Structure 1
Amino acid sequence: MGMYCLLNELTTFKRRSAVKVRVVRSYTVTERRGSSEIKSKELVLHDEEATVIHACIPKDVLPKFPERFLEGSVYCFKNFYVVANWHTYKTSMHEFMLQFNHETIMKESRSENFPYHMYRPIPFHTLKSNPAIDVKQLIDVIGRIVEIRAPQEKTISGHSTVLIDFVLEDAMGNRLNCTFWDDHVAKLEPLCRSASKDPVVVLIQFCRIKLGGRDGDVKISSSYDVTQLLIDVDCPEIQNFKESLLDIGEQTPMRSIGSMTSFSFTNSIEDSTSRKMELTTISEIYENEMHGEFWVAAKINGIEKSNEWCYSSCRKLGCNKKLKMLEGDLKCTKCNMTWKNGVLRYKLRLRAVDMKGTAAFILWDRECMELIGTSATDLYERNKNTAGPIKEITGLVGKIMLFRISANTDQFINRSYAFPVLRINNDSKFVEQYCKELFAAHDKEVNSTVQLSDGDDEFLQLLSLY
């Protein structure tokens, strides 16, 4: 490629690299759900060797770039940062991702001789009972819809969400259960009323894999802003799939079901949730001085010490001990190692409430990663110049979920002593089933008949900053 660098040749030291790539996916991320304020524009790109990489354009540099990047077009980019791929659910398994800045320049290029690798559908049969599946990797699948259920409205983590379930079948008769929500429902709902006998072929780009339990079953769902649903579009992949259906012969017509959703997903965080859970309340644990591990349905009511959300830990593999400054050095008192700097890990103390009680919970690194979606190191780097509480941390307030906590004598001697959280479960199925009372209380809490006085608006806006 002459002056251009292949994506596999990128390093974090090459700030002046130039790449020539095709845009596979272009989408916008907002600051929060339902907000119109843009947080960033995200791109998925591939080079001439079909290597895929993710790119992020932060909102402060968005004015430098076109409002819309045309998917399928080829662009040349130069002068960008090469950073660690921080996304939890990844459009690319590349070690790095690109981050554009004020020095980044671009131009659109001719694409006639540039390879085309827009979609990479994965065969259904390779997903089931495959221990090598990485559930953090977003994948492409293609199939025809053979069953679709009427949309259902649910409240998940305090947000009203519309879900729709459907079944995809490949040319060999293998099937996948799917659950999509929000914007995708508008595309799929008309199919519930469709009388067409022609096969409805769907290419799903960047969907999320969900493990379906001990039988090795795999289900897929949409993944926020990145998933793209392409129904009977004119592209080589869908055309080839339709031709393969013709080779087989007559197909089973699509079945539309008007009943509510029936597909279920087991939370991959905790296999035990595939069985009926036994819940304990915070009050019961305190009053009966119950020792052991318990599942508690609770709401995060606040963050205690919101500026002390991480700590510097030992770098030795398997040792998460907090480093102490001793005689000018960072030392681990567990393995007796000395380090120049440690690894940042989450340690977040929060105030949890259920219907009758309240307690302090400690969330550690794994659970915080699951909720926040990024490592403590990346969050710190993105916010090290931020004054006051970090929005990713304060954004946890109000979330309702299931916590598996550990209780021992310490919590009963001194009730300010926090319960360590061993696991969380925020899977919508289980949260809806076990947290109904909390959601009802949450809905009542936000309704108020108190009339505002002069100056209240300004005061309430000030409160919203904290």
Structure 2
Amino acid sequence: MVQLTSGICSRLSEATPAEIDEIGGGYTVQLVSIKKVTAVSAAAPAIDRYRIIMSDGVHFIQAMLATQLNDLVSNEEIVKNSVVIIDKLTCNVLGDKRLIIVLDLHVVSREEEKIGNPTAAPSLAQPPAAVESRPVVSAPPNQHSPPATNEPVLAQPRPATSNRPGRSIYPIEGLSPYQNNWTIKARVTFKSEVRTWSNPRGDGKLFNVTLMDESGEIRGTGFNAVVDALYDKFEEGKVYYVSKACINLAKKKFSHIQNEYELNLERNTEVEECLEPSSLPMIKYNFIPLSQLEELQKDSVCDVICIVKEIGDLTEIISKANRPVTKRDLIIVDKSQYAVRLTLWGKQAETFAADDLSVIAFKSVKVGDFGGRSLSSINSTIMAISPDIEEAHLLRGWYDGIGGEKTFHSYSNVSSGSASAGFNRNEIRSILDVKQSQIGIDKVDFFSTRATIMHVKSDNIAYPACPTQNCNKKVTEANERWRCEKCDKTYERPEYRYILSMAVADWSGQAWLQGFNDAGLAVFDKTADEIMQMKEQNEAQYNAYVAQVVGKTYNFSCRAKQDTYNDQTRVRYGISKISPLDYQEEAKHLLNVLMTSPWGQGA
């Protein structure tokens, strides 16, 4: 049986908030209850939090999980009666109520029988005299104070006592608009450049910083005069005491940080560098493999760690705001054996100084979906070349050992030098099997099938695209010229590109497949320019040419993905690769099947 830490629940229950911080971590408890509660506020949307009951086998106490640990519950890494080691916690106080918040833990055993018959631990009869009940700040106009509730409210965190007299430190996790007189101790992980704007209402400027402590992250923004007062005080990588800023609801449109609140830096905001040694983390990553980009929504933000396979030249385009913008394209790969184009913009593109095959960790890059999957830097992107972290060392060892010899799959927007997912004869699936298996509903799935073209939609077979290399953006006609909004240029004529929708069938059923330019070239053996010219000159000849592909059989590599269009959700099948039958190759495959079958082996 697992040994729990004797007496820890009584010790935590009777300790003052300051003493709880001194207790530290490293003790083993059992989670006899995990319950989802929702902290409701008129000033903020509902936030899922988890209340837990921790037991040492003799006594139990209540606590809350910090929101960064929510995934442990949702992924069922911890369940009722799991045994865990508490690595770090803190204590908040609201009036005469204390709330213990678990900041970090790791699992010892996921499923255990209940240990002992614990009872409620004895607690302090009164809140400690040194703890002053802080008044709740009035809610913003047209809003209301949080409703009374029996659930603990994370509105008045009890600060941890600092090693400096008169200074109390709050965890970022505990900040909310309903408190004052707080100070956080946080590391600056990102500082933006000063950005300016001009509109009919006037001119202005702003900057923002990302602040991080062990409990979480928060974004701080300063405007106009605050820029002059505070911008030079912040330096990336250093730790600061920050206080007297306004806590507002986070504007998710402008920030991808996982925090419901953000700081509005003001003229009286105090920023003081912490000169004592600090154990605050430098940066927190949540890496995903490149093979999972298809599962992310367009414009979502993620962290990746990769090998830079190719480095493009620095180029310049004209933005929609009619301003020149510099960019640089990279082709990156990782252990999932996928290759993806990542575009750096502005200063990051200009100052990029890594060599080919360097290991780079990117925090907060945006996912794009035009023509496949791609990544691009945004204002808050952090790039670390050859970082001294475990994931970087493992990736370096893998690539130097075996990764350099691997063939990498690619999304359709990666340069043709990278291999894409190919057709697998050993895993051919019938159309009926694909539909009945409901692949593509929960995540992106790939499959191989062999089918015959039954019909091609000929009314919208191609679109006018920008002729600039690697742009492919749709252009619009104006004054007998064609304009690309992305490149901010006009052209005498467009370059047409295929966009196919065709019905295919096999012995089991029929399905609609969608394909782009490569699929059209494979089917028609003419460029989209040529076929559109044919349509303009002789539509009857065009219709006959399109109809002649009906009845031809191809091997298809497809991607199944669920999407919503006109409020209807369905699974769409996209063509990743299409190739005509190679009868010699098919004969060899059939011969191999026969020779490896029981009949062939007995012959």
Q: Tell me the TM-score normalised to structure 2 length.
A: 0.38
Q: Tell me the TM-score normalised to structure 1 length.
A: 0.48
Of structures 1 and 2, the one with the larger relative CO (CA 8 A, separation 6+) is 1
